[in-house]
Amino acid sequence: LSQMDTAWAGRNIRYFPITDSTNTRARALAEEGAPHGTLVIAEEQTGGKGRRGRNWSSPAGTAVYMTILLRPVIAPQNASMLTLVMALAVEEGIRRVSGLDTMIKWPNDVVAEGKKLCGILTEMSADMDGIRYVVIGAGINANQEAFPEELAAASSLRILKGKKVERSVLIAETMKAFEKYYEIFVRTQDMSGLKEVYERRLANMGRQVRVLDSQPWTGTARGIDRSGELLVEDGEGRVHTVLSGEVSVRGI
């Protein structure tokens, strides 16, 4: 990718015409000693993964399937915030190549015109000494012309823009943004340096969200705290923190 002008993010690229899942492939490469910043890119995934064991629709040739391998020197409990860092990067990458008015649906969906353009999946390997590596995968709907009926909430940059985007530029822009935001993140190992920019892109901000806890409730999203948790105000004006992974938020 000649467009890549990063110091480390995506400098070492491993390209596969077809693979089961770029996250699985990146984990295997990590075990073989691949360096921090290695980027796995595939043209097609046969077993694309979403969160909570869901599938990620991964047709050949039209979308972006990529996973970055990181060897961060941070505490394991802080690794989940890297999902939000990648959401910021993908949102910026998409906006730069498409000009679409993209936003982030907490914690990690990139949306435009109410449609989902991207999914992000973070996986970690850790032992008693801490993090061994983290892989962050992003599936970006670049040039699909249509989606199956069951993915009515999905769209692509091509559908929303009415023209194709250059996938290599999308990848390069996303890596450039990721490197920038990652460097800010590791300084504090939390979202304090990114809270403002994240909240500016947060589609949920000031809007009603349904918190799918053991006892579901509805409140108003007020932003994120420095751990990346969503702040949701209830009817009595009390603000609660909602942890991604433990509860899922509906709305937008």
Site for ligand ATP, rule CB under 6 A: 50-52, 54-57, 109, 116, 119, 121, 139, 141, 151, 154
Q: Per 3-state DSSP, what percentage of the chain is helix, strand, and coil (rounded to 5)? A: 30, 30, 40
Considering beta carbons, is residue 71 or 201 the nearer one to ligand ATP? 201
Q: Contact, 48 vs 62, CB < 8 A? A: no
Q: Contact, 158 vs 142, CB < 8 A? A: yes
At 53, give phi and psi (nearest 5°).
70, 10
The residue of the chain with the least Cβ separation from ligand ATP equals: 50
d(CA 221, CA 240): 10
CB of 154 to ligand ATP, least distance (A): 3
| 197 Cβ neighbours under 8 A, 6+ residues apart | 88, 181
Helices and strands, number each (H, E), in the chain: 5, 12
CB of 23 to ligand ATP, least distance (A): 11
Reply yes or no: is the peptide bond before residue 107 cis, omega within 30 of 0: yes
| 164 Cβ neighbours under 8 A, 6+ residues apart | 142, 143, 158
Considering beta carbons, is residue 145 or 236 the nearer one to ligand ATP? 145
Considering beta carbons, is residue 144 or 220 the nearer one to ligand ATP? 144
Considering beta carbons, is residue 115 or 195 the nearer one to ligand ATP? 115
CB of 109 to ligand ATP, least distance (A): 5
Considering beta carbons, is residue 52 or 238 the nearer one to ligand ATP? 52
CB of 224 to ligand ATP, least distance (A): 16
Q: Contact, 141 vs 70, CB < 8 A? A: no
Residue 171 structure tokens: 């990848």
CB of 31 to ligand ATP, least distance (A): 24
Report the relative pairing of strands 39-42 and 13-16 from DSSP bridges.
parallel
Considering beta carbons, is residue 127 or 150 the nearer one to ligand ATP? 150
CB of 86 to ligand ATP, least distance (A): 12
